[in-house]
Amino acid sequence: MKVKDILKDKGTEVATIGAEKTIYDAVKTLVEKNIGSLLVLDEKGAIAGIITERDILKQCNQCLESFSETKVGDVMTKNLIVASPDDDLDYVENIMTQNRVRHLPIILNQKLEGIISIGDLVNVLRGECKVENRYLKAYISGEYPG
């Protein structure tokens, strides 16, 4: 299975925020959309980074008083790890695990195609395991002609 298969089911809508917005604005959007990350766009609309719940918590820990004035661009993760729609899920799972990221922008020809989360991967892999289990049980019990 490939990343594009997840995007086909999940959709390609990606929540974004401007780098000049405040962390308060980011938190408000995260809560309203019930999500864990926002892609950060620069003034030209290009991807500049990603801001996650973890980035916001780190900033809160450092200086809660300036929370409402701190800009997203000051705390976002700038060195993005991305994937392509044609990447295998095993590869993407390894990338996310090794780099300890939970959200992965999907880019094709420098264009944003969507975003997947570790939860999306877990749901797909769990479904594949259920199907495989079912066929193995049927095979072992003799219900499935091998």
| 76-95 pLDDT, tens digit each | 999 999 999 999 999 999 99
Separation of alpha carbons 119 and 7, rounded Å: 13
Rg of the chain, C-alpha, whole Å: 19
Cα-flanking dihedrals φ and ψ of residue 10, to 5°?
-80, -35
Domain boundaries, the chain: 3-141
pLDDT in tens, 93-110: 999 999 999 999 999 999
**pLDDT given for residue 136 in this prediction:** 78
60: part of which helix (H) or strand (E)? Answer: helix 53-62
Residue 39 pLDDT exceeds 80: yes
Q: Which CATH code of 3.10.580.10, 1.10.10.60, 1.10.10.10, 3.40.50.300 fits the domain covering 3-141?
A: 3.10.580.10
Which pLDDT score is estimated for 132? 73
3-12, 93-102, 124-133: least confidently modelled range: 124-133
